[in-house]
Amino acid sequence: MSGKHVKLSPASWKLKTAGILVAIAAVFMISFYMLDLNLVRFVERLGNAGRVLALFVAFDATVLPDAILEMLTSLAIAVAALAVGFIISIALAFLAAANTAPSKIIASIIKSMVAIIRAVPSLVWILMIVASIGFGNTAGMVALLLSTCGYLVKAFASSIEEKGSDSIEAMRAVGANWFGIVLKGVLPGVIGSFLSWTSIRFESNITESVTLGMVGVGGIGTLLMRAISQFNYGRIVAILAVIVSFMLFVELVATALRRRINK
């Protein structure tokens, strides 16, 4: 052994790592080139940023009562979609997860549906939904419900697949039926991570609910959009302040909840 160079990984691994790094660098360069970014113009116009930012040093407090009320509407849409989505997603996740699915065909159908829902942005969903049921809170809730289910079914199913196998075996061995296996065997073990996923989703539901408001569904987004189109910077800032405060509050509550659940 003396004097001989000791390798900590085979030479082929190093070659592979180098190859991967070169490939990533190439992908980055290509994307950069394809975007046709004009950095010179960006730097030239950066000077305007100060002037625009100065316009935002304003605060129109008169909009606050309206803003808070509309924020509550956005919050209500987010919560309603989350609550309904949570229940639907639990059922669908157990039907879709590889280790609990009673039928492979149903599981594939659910997984494909979820993949489609996730692939289509919720702004596109809202356009389709608005076209069929018109503007308003219902359209917002349905659009949000779709993206909530798209997210939660996938997350829940992966938790079930990760954690369920030992308890499924035990429940099968005592002669439990599918409902027994799922509700008595698997659910108690995964409900903690289900709630964790849901609390994460809660935050994005609120953000999405605000965004959906901007395309005409009810809530604070509508108010914000109106202020933007009027270039009313004081109102924009006040509305944003309401949104940010609510989001901070929600973030604190969600974090506290997650900590309790994971104990």
Partner 1 sequence: MGKALLSIKNLRKSYDKFEALRGIDIEFNEGEFVVMIGSSGAGKSTFIRCINRMIDPSDGEIVFSDGVHMEKLRGAALRRKRAQIGMIFQHYNLIGRVNVIKNVMHGQLGQVPFWRSLLGLYPEAEKRRAVELLEEVGLSEQIFKRADALSGGQMQRVGICRAVMQNPKLLLADEPIASLDPKSSEIVMDCLKRITKQRGLCCIVNLHQVDFAKKYADRIIGVKAGKIVLDGSPDALTDEIVRYIYSGEQTTVEEAQEKPVPSSGRRSAAHA
Binding site for partner 1 (CB under 8 A): 166-167, 169-177, 179-180, 183-185, 188-189, 191-192
Q: With respect to partner 1, which residue has the nearer C-beta, 153 or 181?
A: 181
CB of 184 to partner 1, least distance (A): 6
Q: With respect to partner 1, which residue has the nearer C-beta, 118 or 172?
A: 172
Q: With respect to partner 1, which residue has the nearer C-beta, 128 or 183?
A: 183
Q: With respect to partner 1, which residue has the nearer C-beta, 24 or 87?
A: 87
CB of 109 to partner 1, least distance (A): 23
CB of 260 to partner 1, least distance (A): 13
Q: With respect to partner 1, which residue has the nearer C-beta, 162 or 166?
A: 166
- Alpha-carbon distance 96 to 103, whole Å? 9
CB of 38 to partner 1, least distance (A): 56
CB of 256 to partner 1, least distance (A): 20
CB of 170 to partner 1, least distance (A): 4
Residue listed under structure tokens 């997860």 = 97
- Residue 20's CB: how many other CB atoms inside 10 A? 10
Q: With respect to partner 1, which residue has the nearer C-beta, 123 or 176?
A: 176
